Amino acid sequence: MEVGRLERYLYLIIPNALLRRVLPLFAKYGFFNETADTQTPISFNMWYNQKVKGHCREAYWPVHKNSVVTDPQNVYCGIETSPGFSPGNYIQAKGKIYIGDYTQIAANVGIISANHVLEDNRKHDHKEVHIGKYCWIGMGALIMPGVVLGDYTVVGAGSVVTKSFPNGYCVLAGNPAQLIKELEKEKCVFHKSTHEYNGYVEHTQFENYRKINLNV
């Protein structure tokens, strides 16, 4: 998954047209083909901009060139979950952020796990953020420090979530976000992809990767 310094140098001088054709033939880069039909398909352009050119290189999941991720070692990404995949995301992980499997995040979403101390704005108060499985965070929404959202929570576009809804199976909207609808669990679809990845890492290898590289 990681690209070494020598590899990066070679990839910078090899024509992109050739790399696009050759890299998917290697097992290390199987994610290009195996994520093609998923909710977060890993494109060559996104991978190249990130892992070769260096935008958010430390993140182990695909990040759009117009998104920002801080402290990626403090972020747990579930299967097929990539905060920052959509343009304009701001993922601030001074505290820890946990996002469950198959959760999707729209453009211009902010997820913040630390805020300035009111009495001393040089300092930050860290609070973990937990977002469950199969959630949908709508465009322009903001998830504030300390928030816990249960599985299948849908956050409406432009909402500001300042408190927790740990039971999930609901729709939230507004500023501050309020419960506007409850979902029937038996109607919710718990889909799975044939090939499962936590970002660029095959799911079967993720726990080992997590123990070595992450703080979550």
Give residue 94's Cα distance to chain centre: 15
Residue 1 has pLDDT above 80, yes or no: no
* Residue 95 vs residues 50, 75, 216: alpha-carbon distances, Å: 23, 9, 10
Mention every residue, 6+ apart, whose C-beta is less than 8 A from residue 69: 56, 59, 63, 75, 83, 84, 89, 91, 93
Q: What proportion of the chain, given as a percentage, has pLDDT over 70?
A: 100
Q: Quick one: which H or E segment has residue 207?
A: helix 203-213
pLDDT at 39: 95
Residue 108 has pLDDT above 80, yes or no: yes
pLDDT at 5: 87
Tell me the per-residue pLDDT of 76-106, one tens digit each, with 9 for 90 and over.
999 999 999 999 999 999 999 999 999 999 9
Name the 3-class secondary structure at 161.
strand
Residue 134 has pLDDT above 70, yes or no: yes
Q: Average pLDDT of 41-55?
A: 96
pTM of the shown model: 0.95
Residue 4 has pLDDT above 90, yes or no: no
pLDDT at 2: 78
Q: Average pLDDT of 62-77?
A: 98
In total, the chain counts a number of residues equal to 216
What band does 37 get if pLDDT is binned at 50, 70 and 90? very high
Peptide bond into 72 cis (omega under 30): no
CA distance 192 to 62: 19
Q: Can you list the domains of the chain with their CATH numbers?
A: 63-213 (2.160.10.10)
Tell me the per-residue pLDDT of 145-157, one tens digit each, with 9 for 90 and over.
999 999 999 999 9
Q: Average pLDDT of 153-176?
A: 99
Q: Average pLDDT of 168-183?
A: 99
pLDDT at 120: 94
